[in-house]
Amino acid sequence: MSEQPKLASLDDSIVGRLPSHAQSLFAAKTEKKLTFADLAERLGRSEVAVAAIFYGQATASPEDVKVLAEVLGLDETTLRAQVGGVFPDRGRAGPMPPVEPLIYRLYEIVQNYGYAYKAVINEKFGDGIMSAIAFSTTVDKEVDNDGVAWVNIKLRGKWLPFTRF
């Protein structure tokens, strides 16, 4: 694959599963040649959160909308209606089990280590769950001494103990 920078864009065969703003946001991002890292810096948010807004999996605050409209050259009123006034209908971006190899690997981690996570977390925290709502996540690139690249994903979720009732 080419070494030159590439921008994530929207595969048009996935469009039907996403809210309509996904198309206009991705088109503007492609035209402006902006990465999610560029946008994340402007919005003061995580890159994953910004990409999640594009895919209709996260909400944008009024300030986010303002900045996004400005940076992407979109009409702020329209954008506000699209992503600022909507409660996302999450979870429908792709099929489960995932068929995209990159996403499948994340799924496989849950499949293989799910019970191991549960056992370790239960011992450390008790009976409960790590929230996926009161939650944040980041992706970082690491290059080791041999020049090998590694992906570092951090998941941070609030601990929610099961209520006694």
Residues 91-130 that bind a second copy (CB under 8 A): 91-130
Catalytic residue positions, numbered: 105, 108, 131
Cα(36)–Cα(50) distance, rounded to whole angstroms? 7
Of the residues 17, 70, 75, 77, which one makes contact with a second copy according to CB under 8 A? 17
Amino acid letter, 45: R
Closest contact distance (angstroms) between CB of 155 and a second copy is 4
Three-state DSSP at 138 gives strand
Residue 62 in the binding site for a second copy (CB under 8 A): yes
Please report the DSSP string for 42-83 in residue order. Answer: HHTS-HHHHHHHHTTSS---HHHHHHHHHHHT--HHHHIIII
Cβ 67 to a second copy shortest distance, Å:
14
Residues of this chain, 24-53, that bind a second copy according to CB under 8 A: 30, 35-37, 45-49, 51-52
